Amino acid sequence: MWPLIVGGASVAFFHAVAPDHWLPFVALARGSRWSMGRLGMIATLAGTGHVLSSLLLGLLGVWAGWAVHRMEGVEAWRGGVAIWLLIGFGVAYALWGLKHAQHAHPHVSVQDAVKAYATRRVWLLIAILVFGPCEPLIPLMFLAYKEGMTAVWMVAGVFSVVTVGMVVGQSCLMYAGMRLINVPWMERYAHALAGLVIVLTAVVVMLTGV
């Protein structure tokens, strides 16, 4: 049991280091000037949803007796779609940011529209991360199933806690550092730069297979 638990925690740690798990939220937080508390809450929600989607799929596979390679194929497909969705999100956000930068002193109506768009933007990014898979979780669950459902739940629980903790911790730590940077032109183009960071993050993950 202990090797499974330690292995699950280790795999979760290195899995969550991938920048697409946390850097997009840092970019959004920087562009919209979130508080640290808001970033932590949103990152927790996204990380939890990200883990639960693969956890439910893995439990379904264990219950139905599906082969692990079939489940891995589903996860790979989800991963590919999620990366392209993230790229599209980043491009749209960057273009919107460039347009928004032209309004140095936006009117009240424009500010209201910006707030409404910001809310949709957050939920869309959360949805993309939830759709994206936790690829290592399902093989770990199938391996633990040989020791019984108790082992499955323990491994899944440890993996989930470590993953969510890493998503939140890395997001908040990076954001704390970025808030120390105060450059006027970067403030004006903060949204466009955030979109560009999201695109570059997705491209790097896609090319490197992280």
Residues 6+ apart with CB under 8 A from 99: none
pTM: 0.79
Q: CA-CA distance, 122 to 61, in Å (whole number)?
A: 31
Lowest mean pLDDT among 46-55, 91-100, 130-139, 152-161: 130-139
The one-character DSSP state at 136 is: T
Mean pLDDT of the chain: 82
Residues 6+ apart with CB under 8 A from 62: 141, 142, 145, 152
DSSP-based three-state secondary structure for 137: helix
Q: CA-CA distance, 63 to 83, in Å (whole number)?
A: 29
Percent of the chain with pLDDT over 70: 84
Lowest mean pLDDT among 64-78, 85-99, 108-122, 150-164: 108-122
- Report residue 147 as tokens: 């020791």
Residues 6+ apart with CB under 8 A from 58: 71, 137, 138, 141, 142, 156
pLDDT digits (tens, 9 = 90+) for 82-107: 889 989 998 988 888 888 777 655 55
DSSP-based three-state secondary structure for 46: helix
pLDDT class of 175 with cuts at 50, 70, 90: very high
Q: What is the pLDDT of residue 72?
A: 67
Four-point Cα dihedral 14, 15, 21, 27, nearest 10: 30
Q: What is the pLDDT of residue 108?
A: 45
Domain residue limits, the chain: 2-11+23-208
